[in-house]
Amino acid sequence: MSDGLSYRESGVDLDVAERAKEGLKALVASTRDEHTLSALGSFGGLYAVPPELASPVLVSSADGVGTKLKVAFAAGRHDTVGQCLVNHCVNDILVQGARPLFFLDYLATCEMDEAVVHEVVRGVATGCRENQCALLGGETAEMPGFYAPGEYDLAGFVVGVVERERILDGSQIRAGDALVGIASSGLHTNGYTLARKIVFEALALGADDELPGTDRTVAEELLAVHRSYLPILQEPLEAQCVHGLAHVTGGGIPGNLPRVLPEGLGAVIERAAWEVPPVFRTLQEAGRVASEEMDRVFNMGVGMIAVVGPDQVDSVRDAAGAHGVQSWVIGAIQAGAGVSYR
């Protein structure tokens, strides 16, 4: 039967896949903590809920990094997208007051490139260590004929925990509360389809070219790591001085802030309260994008919004400053609905 087909001839090399997975063991092990009960290779990951919690509620989220991956492909740089994935997911559960316990990743590619897989997962492991959560497992799939050569897809799944009485559900938000905007580190993981069209088509730039107005290359600017707000907000959350949080992702401030506001309340945003970073000004000018469209597509320099009582503004801003991150009072809660700018 030597003339028969093999999996390798069909496009999947099991030996390469096995070597790639073997090379990930140390990365995964580096994220383990005292609650991790399983090792890489188990059919399911085991994690014990921390026993010190009186009334634990699990909070989960899943996401990807969108077409930011296309920039990684063009630049041949794969070390930041894994961190972006972890940080994005961690921020999503942070909005409800949760801290992460463990993370799972899914990486699917046309053909197994051991170096690329290792670089991506190294970024995931770095993100997990920095957010103090375990990389409990995941899946690495080789799918020739489904993905284009040299490309891959990446998704992540986080599970965190919060004490029931400390869940942030918007019920504490009141008219007159202040909106503290905490700076983003760039585009984060949203708006890349429009950004790529402007940068690679309208401006006709390559990944290694300088992006006008930024003093950075296209790759440096567009592959900047999505900031995690967990380190900044841990103390304010522990002190229970935060009434609500909004992670500014796809939809911008107008699409995300209303998601955490109770019925009957809206928000007003002061455009002059912060300086929009150069990358967004460059994209708007080069793409001739309307301001309203920019607001809906990009974070415009504000990656997280904390809703706090006027007397708690300094506690959040001081926490941001202690981590070297800018913040601003960008508006207030008012009676009504939706978000308006002035």
Beta bridge partners of 302: 183
Question: Do residues 127 and 117 lie in contact, with contact meaning Cβ atoms separated by under 8 Å?
Answer: no
In the structure, what pLDDT confidence band is assigned to residue 30 with cuts at 50, 70 and 90? confident
* C-alpha distance from residue 23 to each of 17, 141, 201 (Å): 10, 15, 38
pLDDT at 311: 96
Residue with the two structure tokens 């699917």: 108
Tens digit of each residue's pLDDT (9 = 90 or more) over 220-239: 999 999 999 999 999 999 99
What's the confidence (pLDDT) of residue 56? 95
Average pLDDT value for the chain: 93
Closest to 135 (Cα-Cα) out of 98, 161, 99, 100: 100
* Over residues 90-95, mean pLDDT: 98
Q: How far apart are CA 44 and CA 38, in angstroms?
A: 8
pLDDT at 14: 63
DSSP 3-state of 178: strand
Distance (Å, whole) CA 102 – CA 49: 10
CA dist., res. 59 & res. 65, Å (int): 20
pLDDT by residue (tens digit) across 44-69? 888 898 999 999 999 999 999 999 99
Domain 178-341: which CATH number of 2.50.20.10, 1.10.1200.10, 3.90.650.10, 3.10.180.10? 3.90.650.10
Relative orientation angle of helices 114-130 and 81-94, to the nearest 10 degrees: 30
| Position 9 confidence tier, pLDDT thresholds 50, 70, 90 | low
What residues pair up with 152 in beta bridges, in sequence order?
109
Beta bridge mates, 261: none
CA distance linking residue 257 with residue 300, whole number of Å = 14
Instruction: Give yes or no for a contact between 329 and 178, defined as CB atoms under 8 angstroms apart.
Output: yes
Mean pLDDT for 328-341 is: 95
CA-closest candidate to residue 307, choices 267, 254, 264, 249: 267
Domain(s) labelled CATH 3.90.650.10 in the chain stretch across 178-341
Q: 301 in helix, strand or coil? A: coil
Topology classification of domain 7-166: 60s Ribosomal Protein L30; Chain: A; (3.30.1330)
Q: Is 90 exposed, middle or buried (0-12, 13-18, 19+ CB in 10 A)?
A: buried
| pLDDT, mean of residues 281-298 | 97
Structure tokens at 101: 């316990």
Quote the CA–CA distance of 299 and 190 in Å, as a whole number. Answer: 8
Percent of the chain surpassing pLDDT 90? 82
Range(s) of the chain covered by CATH 3.30.1330.10? 7-166
Does the model's pTM come out above 0.85?
yes
DSSP state of 222: H
